[in-house]
């Protein structure tokens, strides 16, 4: 996750030991370029959450992906990446972002540290039974709408088949 922080504020935070800077420098066509600069809060000020849950797509506020924990808590991850699959079961470990604001107003903002694919909430057979249905029809199953577009189509079948592999971020 990239953040923009003023030089003076960042220097002060480093001096009092609250921030550890990590810088990655890359070479592109022989030139030195700053590729990424990120900071991580010290362990004393970090809140880490972990657990199992289900990835869901929420259609309000422009649409976004979240995790509903098995404990009922809602998490709004800023870096879900390849795990943006509706109905995907995951185990995750994340840092709570106290200094980030979102207009979603849904769940606790987190940055994923580690996430593992535990499989889909629905299997390929369920997707095939709901194939061709759209939101509002009796055959439609929201757990099979992995891309969150309101219809069960070939894209959902492809996602279901692909997710039989176990992937780790």
Helix then strand count (H, E) for the chain reads 3, 7
User: pTM, whole model, 2 decimals?
Assistant: 0.53
DSSP 8-class letter at 96: E
CA distance 65 to 62: 11
Superfamily, domain 47-169:
NigD-like N-terminal OB domain (2.40.50.500)
- Stretches where the chain sits below pLDDT 70 are 1-45, 120-122, 163-169
Residues of the chain with CATH 2.40.50.500: 47-169
Whole-number pLDDT of residue 113: 96
Residue linked to tokens 């810088």: 23
Whole-number pLDDT of residue 93: 96
Tell me the pLDDT tens digit for each residue of 55-85. Answer: 999 988 889 999 999 999 999 999 998 899 8
CA distance 114 to 93: 5
* Residue ranges in 16-166 assigned as alpha helix (H): 124-130, 154-162
């Amino acid at each position: 996750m990239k953040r923009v922080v003023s030089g003076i504020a960042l220097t002060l935070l480093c001096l009092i030991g609250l921030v550890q800077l990590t810088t990655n420098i890359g070479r592109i066509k022989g030139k030195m370029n700053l590729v990424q600069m990120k900071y991580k809060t010290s362990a004393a000020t970090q809140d880490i959450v972990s657990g199992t849950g289900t990835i869901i797509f929420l259609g309000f506020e422009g649409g976004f992906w979240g995790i509903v924990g098995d404990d009922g808590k809602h998490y709004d991850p800023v870096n879900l990446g390849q795990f943006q699959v509706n109905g995907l079961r995951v185990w995750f470990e994340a840092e709570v972002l106290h200094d980030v604001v979102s207009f979603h107003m849904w769940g606790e903002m987190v940055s994923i540290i580690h996430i593992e694919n535990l499989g889909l909430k629905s299997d390929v057979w369920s997707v095939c039974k709901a194939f061709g249905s759209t939101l509002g029809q009796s055959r439609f199953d929201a757990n099979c709408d992995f891309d969150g577009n309101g219809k069960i189509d070939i894209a959902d079948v492809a996602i279901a088949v692909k997710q039989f592999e176990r992937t780790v971020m």
